[in-house]
Amino acid sequence: MASFYTRRVLALAALLTGSFIPHAQNLVPNGSFENPTDCPSGLSSSGYFLYTTGEDTLHDFVRLAQPWYCPTSGTSDYIHSCSTSNLVTMPSNMWGTSQAQEGEGYAALIAYHNIASDWENNVPEFDYVEYIQTPLEEPLIPGATYHASLWIRHGDNTRFACDNLGMAVHVGPVAFGDSIWAGNLELNPVLQSAPGVPFTTDSAWVEFSGNFEAQSAADYLTIGRWGKVINLTVEETTTEVLPVTLSRAVYYIDNVSIILVSEPVSVPDATLSGFTAYVAGNHLHFRNAWGPLEIYSITGSHIATYATGMKSGSLMLHLAPGMYLVSDGGRMVRIVVS
């Protein structure tokens, strides 16, 4: 007969094993920027201006690469092989030379801009940054694990390269009123290039990818550069004297995906066999506990043990926001720290 300890470990292992989802759907619509509503005829106008006024222009990113759009007044560009403009066609365009990583189109966005000759000693007073944003096919499942991926390449016609490039997910679109003029958006990325290391690769596409745990029912995705300009690590990639329009760090983006890897642990939210645990403020409240309380991450990593000596009561928690598992020595419930 299995010991109590063995049964407990097996039960915990079963609870902590999420359901693997084979051949899961890519939740990013038009992730490789295909099927344009029309061929781009030039560099983009303001996505924000078009969104708020309804005025239509042929080459707006927000109109051509649906459902993608520019969430600020920054004018990210849509590059496609069908364009007859040497500014936005491929392989050669305004920002460099590159075929698409997949298909016939890709996005181009400015991550840093500085026209000063003594740029190392002149932090731009106005931080011009461009982003692209899209709704997801369906909201993320809080507590589930997802695999995020995007392909990126530095525009080889441009003067600079920088760090902190990547992707963020969030609930609802970024409010246009939050950033009427182009500037850096305050979002927490789920995928980001190495801080302190400017991304300079312009000879090939490079994949940024990794797993993350959904913290909310996020239903939108934004790609761009994160962090304040004063905290960026910037590198000059050429000593050639370039026009001010190329005194930027520009990046190509293609083949974007978010795929469900495993669903969250199936554990009751409130009670199981009389054991109750919930969070209010900074305190964990519990009732009918059999023994010491053990706290686990939603993926099963042990975080802490609280030997309270009480069957019911409360204790102070010091946990980051998210979902956790609480065990009383044989039973387990899920809690949410906000």
For residue 329, the domain's CATH number is 2.60.40
Do both 72 and 85 map to the same domain? yes
Q: What pLDDT score was predicted for residue 273?
A: 58
Q: What pLDDT score was predicted for residue 265?
A: 57
- Three-class SS string for 54-105? CCCCCCCHHHHCCCCECCCCCCCEEEECCCCCCCCCCCEECCEECCCCCCCE
Q: Is 9 helix (H, G, I), strand (E, B) or coil?
A: helix
User: Is residue 301 in some structural domain?
Assistant: yes
Q: Which domain holds residue 281?
A: 4-17+265-337
Q: What pLDDT score was predicted for residue 202?
A: 95
Q: pTM for the complete prediction?
A: 0.71
Q: Is 100 in contact with 32 (CB distance < 8 Å)?
A: yes
Q: What pLDDT score was predicted for residue 227?
A: 87
Query: Cα–Cα distances in Å, from 333 out to 6, 85, 112, 217, 327?
Result: 19, 59, 46, 21, 7
Do both 210 and 315 map to the same domain? no
Do both 57 and 179 map to the same domain? yes
Which residue matches tokens 């030997």? 307
Do both 138 and 150 map to the same domain? yes
Do both 53 and 138 map to the same domain? yes
Do both 182 and 156 map to the same domain? yes
User: Is residue 28 in some structural domain?
Assistant: no
> Which of these three, 247, 262, 277, is where a domain ends?
262
Do both 297 and 258 map to the same domain? no
Do both 228 and 292 map to the same domain? no
Chain-centre distance for alpha carbon 135: 13
What burial letters (b/e) apply to 269-287, b meaning 16+ CB within 10 Å? eeebeebbbbbeeeebebb
CATH number at residue 79: 2.60.120.260
The set of residues, in sequence order, having a beta carbon less than 8 Å from that of 276 and lying 6+ positions away, is 270, 285, 286, 287, 288, 333
- State how far the Cα of 230 lies from the Cα of 149, in Å rounded to an integer: 27
User: Is residue 22 in some structural domain?
Assistant: no
Q: What pLDDT score was predicted for residue 98?
A: 97
Q: What pLDDT score was predicted for residue 225?
A: 93
Q: Is 98 in contact with 252 (CB distance < 8 Å)?
A: yes
Do both 108 and 198 map to the same domain? yes
User: Is residue 23 in some structural domain?
Assistant: no
The set of residues, in sequence order, having a beta carbon less than 8 Å from that of 11 and lying 6+ positions away, is 330, 332
> Which of these three, 206, 232, 262, is where a domain ends?
262
User: Is residue 36 in some structural domain?
Assistant: no
> Which of these three, 206, 240, 262, is where a domain ends?
262
Q: What pLDDT score was predicted for residue 60?
A: 60
Q: What pLDDT score was predicted for residue 6?
A: 34
- Local mean pLDDT, 10-residue blocks, the chain (338 residues): 37 44 79 91 62 45 82 87 93 95 96 85 82 93 91 95 96 66 76 94 96 91 91 90 85 97 61 73 86 84 87 87 83 81
Query: Cα–Cα distances in Å, from 257 out to 136, 149, 163, 180, 253?
Result: 10, 5, 21, 28, 12
User: Is residue 41 in some structural domain?
Assistant: no
Number of domains in the chain: 2
Strands 234-236 and 160-162 come out as antiparallel
User: Is residue 323 in some structural domain?
Assistant: yes
Nearest to 70 by CA among 54, 41, 50, 93: 50
Do both 230 and 299 map to the same domain? no
Q: Is 197 in contact with 163 (CB distance < 8 Å)?
A: yes
- State how far the Cα of 299 lies from the Cα of 261, in Å rounded to an integer: 13
| N-term to C-term CA, the chain | 42
pLDDT in tens, 226-265: 988 888 999 999 888 778 788 899 999 999 999 998 876 5
Do both 211 and 120 map to the same domain? yes
User: Is residue 273 in some structural domain?
Assistant: yes
Do both 178 and 235 map to the same domain? yes
